[in-house]
Amino acid sequence: MGTRAGGRRTGPKCIAIVGPFASGKTTLLEAILARTGAIPRQNPVSSGNTVSDHSPEARAHAMSVEATFATTEFMDEQLTFVDCPGSIEFSFEAEPVLAACDIAVVVAEADAKKIPALQLIMRKLDDLGVPRIMFLNKVDKAISGVRDTLKMLQPASSVPLLLRQIPLRKNGVVIGSIDLALERAYIYREYAESEVAQIPSDDKARELEARFSMLETLADHDDQLMEQLLEEIEPPKDAIFDDLAADLRDGAVTPVLIGTAEKGNGVLRLLKTIRHDAPDVEATRKRLGAPDGNTTVVQVMKTIHTAHGGKLSVSRILSGQLADASELFLSNGATAKVSGIYRMLGKDQTKLTSAKAGDTVALGKLDDVTTGQTLSSAKGGIKPLVTLAPSQPVFAFALRPKERKDEVKMSAAIQRLAEEDPSLSLRHNQDSAETVLSGHGEMHLRVVRERLEGKNQIPVEGHPPAVPYRETIRKTAQQRGRHKKQSGGHGQFGDVVIEIKPLPRGSGFQFTDTITGGAVPKTYIQSVETGVRDYLKSGPLGFPVVDVAVNLSDGSYHAVDSSDMAFQMAAKLAMKEGMAACSPVLLEPIMKVEIVTPSDATSRIIALIPQRRGQILGYDARPGWPGWDVVEATMPQAEIGDLIIELRSATAGVASYRATFDHMAELTGRLADEALNANGKAA
């Protein structure tokens, strides 16, 4: 015992700060930067002047909306902290960051409502294989004991939450902490280093009990420690620290430290734990499968477009050295030349001449490089080390500039925003001629719109996207259509008789002909079909027509005046008059919806589905997710537009859904009238 961890890992480290919304992540980063001297003082989040609040959108909404990078030094070692947003709507920011980090600090608090959000974060860390430390924040405000809090939080973690500190109280008020590994007390001092003290005699029994529980958990991975505990032999302190470091790096436990970030309490112990126990870039490189040797390997964690410095690719140097003006290869073999290397402290940048393995830096003007890509010095590039999960949009709006002259400018601005935020989805709806922007929620797209209007100076208008209604018919009809025009020279003549009949739902469109005797020459039959198809783009109700069969049964022609265009016009006339007699009816798209929700909110979710004209198909436990359910339903697409807002309101912001097209269904009555009126048609 005592050699499992292999000693302290030195060199630059990269640490992600993650946690549920409003758990205190930005406050903790401020406390860390103040304690390490990177900033002169700790600014409260309410001041809107923290390192992470450098964007107007973050200040306006009092929340982090993008990952913020800040490099500092502690005890002669370089540490880069990345403050990741806590809201699920901006969770996409964390994935490329976490993949290239050495360790995560999970900020949590004694709030049962935030356990599902905490579980989402812990699951992501599990998926990526990232070791983590938990910082139990706001201990001065907690009502329950710290061990009861850990019991409450444990279901969110797949590995044991290992308590390393317990609170030191006086008259019911938390005045410090007791370190269970060091067997030492620390008296808190606001915004300053804690005062070392002896463990009070009244707290000794509580400390011994908590310490033994910690050692029991460590003994699950150390047979020698288990024997010592059984024989009541006191294990050496250096061996305990070795076990703590080894189990943390292996992901076998999540050590839990306590404090109050708002007052700077517990921050120094957290920094020392990171310095002594956290893995380094070598472990991260191995986890990602990066090649060994002297090859320079760079992983891009975030893309930023600055007002004056152009595009920056914030990256982790996983191996090798990188100098300014170096040429790197993308995975597809393309080349990219570095134009500037910068150390980040929020929005502030310090220019460097080079970077080494472990450094987290911003690289300038890599125009063809996007977030999540892997660059290297190896000719032809290496395979990508990170695969970002495809985005699952849950909210959308149609966007257009208030002035038409800004259309090209808006398109370019959205393209830059999509580079910064790969979770944005942009598409052009040909039916409605709308530019539709999709994302992770209402706040997500609100911030995008604010950036278009603020950062890019493009006033825009947004509204819910048009629902892709269709129409079909209920009855069969036969109709003649004749197009005849004489205006000097060759005239125009086309004459057709068509039969229009409904098809089963989902059949689409069928065209046939039963022409005999050459009533319509074969050369014009295709023209008739073209005219029919052209009409079906907008039927009598104003929407594309589906599930219709048209048969050309008769007609006539003129040897001189007939033409392709004349027969197209005749077909359109026949369709226009015939469709009105076929009892047209509106169809709306019905979606299959899968909603994932914490189990304690399932009943609320089930209750709201019928309110949106949905039909519940069933619900069951979410496989591999204790405490979560999957609710399946069908729901009209018209009711899904703002569904995510209600789902998240009912689940403390964590529910989500996936919708896929299922079928078309008839829509009648008031809702049909509203759809027709909105489309400019009378009901």
The one-character DSSP state at 543 is: S
Q: What is the pLDDT of residue 682?
A: 45
- The angle subtended at Cα 659 by Cα 655 and Cα 661, nearest 5°, is 170
Query: Mean pLDDT in each 10-residue stretch from start to end of the chain (683 residues)?
Result: 81 97 96 96 88 83 92 97 95 94 97 94 96 97 90 96 96 94 95 94 95 96 92 92 96 97 97 97 96 90 88 96 95 94 95 97 94 95 91 91 92 90 88 90 94 91 94 97 82 95 96 94 96 96 96 94 95 96 97 97 97 97 94 97 96 95 96 88 47
> What does 500-542 look like in DSSP terms, one character per residue?
EEE--TT--EEEEE---TTSS-HHHHHHHHHHHHHHTTS-TTS
- Residue 387 lies inside a defined structural domain of this protein: no
Q: 644, 657 in Cβ contact below 8 A? A: yes
- Residue 213 lies inside a defined structural domain of this protein: yes
Q: What is the pLDDT of residue 488?
A: 64
Gap between the Cα atoms of 500 and 482, Å rounded: 16
**Same domain assignment for residues 497 and 440:** no
Q: 486, 566 in Cβ contact below 8 A? A: no
Q: How would you class 125 by CB atoms within 10 Å of its CB: exposed for 0-12, middle for 13-18, buried for 19 or more?
A: buried
Strands, E assignment, 468-621: 470-473, 477-485, 492-502, 509-513, 548-556, 584-598, 615-621
CATH of the domain at 310: 2.40.30.10
CATH of the domain at 600: 3.30.70.240
Minimal CA–CA distance to 82: which of 72, 499, 395? Answer: 72
CATH of the domain at 150: 3.40.50.300
3-state SS assignment for residue 9: coil
Gap between the Cα atoms of 321 and 288, Å rounded: 18
CA-CA-CA-CA dihedral for 426, 429, 433, 434, to nearest 10: -40
Beta strands across the sheet bearing 192-197: 165-170, 173-179, 184-189, 192-197
- Residue 189 lies inside a defined structural domain of this protein: yes
**Same domain assignment for residues 480 and 449:** no
Gap between the Cα atoms of 434 and 465, Å rounded: 7
Q: What is the pLDDT of residue 279?
A: 97
**Structure tokens that stand for 135 in this block:** 């910082």
**Structure tokens that stand for 382 in this block:** 């290496």
The one-character DSSP state at 377 is: S
**Same domain assignment for residues 628 and 670:** yes
The one-character DSSP state at 266 is: T
> What does 625-669 look like in DSSP terms, one character per residue?
-TTEEEEEEEEEGGGTTTHHHHHHHHTTT--EEEEEEEEEEEE-H
**Same domain assignment for residues 639 and 656:** yes
**Same domain assignment for residues 446 and 482:** no
**Same domain assignment for residues 67 and 33:** yes
β-strand pairing of 13-18 with 77-83: parallel
Q: How would you class 295 by CB atoms within 10 Å of its CB: exposed for 0-12, middle for 13-18, buried for 19 or more?
A: middle
Element (H, E) at 396: strand 395-401
- Residue 383 lies inside a defined structural domain of this protein: no
**Same domain assignment for residues 488 and 598:** no
For residue 564, give the amino acid letter.
Answer: D
Gap between the Cα atoms of 161 and 167, Å rounded: 16
Residue 133 β-bridge partners: 105
Buried b (16+ CB within 10 A) or exposed e, 332-356: eeeebebebbbbbbbeebeebeebb
Gap between the Cα atoms of 628 and 221, Å rounded: 30
Q: 632, 593 in Cβ contact below 8 A? A: yes
Chain CA centroid to CA 613, Å: 28
Dmax over CA atoms of the chain, in Å, equals 115
Gap between the Cα atoms of 47 and 26, Å rounded: 12
Gap between the Cα atoms of 653 and 116, Å rounded: 9
Q: What is the pLDDT of residue 678?
A: 84
What lies within 8 Å, CB to CB, of 95 at 6+ separation is 124, 128, 388, 389
CATH of the domain at 410: 3.30.70.870
CATH of the domain at 544: 3.30.230.10
**Same domain assignment for residues 341 and 444:** no
Domain hosting 456: range is 395-463
In the chain, how many domains are there?
5
Minimal CA–CA distance to 193: which of 122, 264, 97, 112? Answer: 264
- Residue 512 lies inside a defined structural domain of this protein: yes
- Residue 4 lies inside a defined structural domain of this protein: no
**Same domain assignment for residues 411 and 457:** yes
**Same domain assignment for residues 249 and 333:** no
Q: How far apart, in Å, are the Cα atoms of 94 and each of 49, 202, 277, 281? A: 22, 43, 22, 18
User: Which of 261, 279, 297 marks a domain boundary?
Assistant: 279
User: Which of 428, 463, 498 marks a domain boundary?
Assistant: 463
**Structure tokens that stand for 289 in this block:** 């499968």
**Same domain assignment for residues 40 and 143:** yes
- Residue 6 lies inside a defined structural domain of this protein: no
Using the structure block, give the residue that is written with the tokens 């299922």: 662
User: Which of 323, 342, 376 marks a domain boundary?
Assistant: 376
Using the structure block, give the residue that is written with the tokens 């979606």: 591
3-state SS assignment for residue 464: coil
Q: How far apart, in Å, are the Cα atoms of 71 and each of 29, 132, 209, 348? A: 11, 19, 38, 11
Q: What is the pLDDT of residue 490?
A: 76
- Residue 3 lies inside a defined structural domain of this protein: no
**Same domain assignment for residues 317 and 179:** no
Start-to-end CA span in the chain (Å): 82
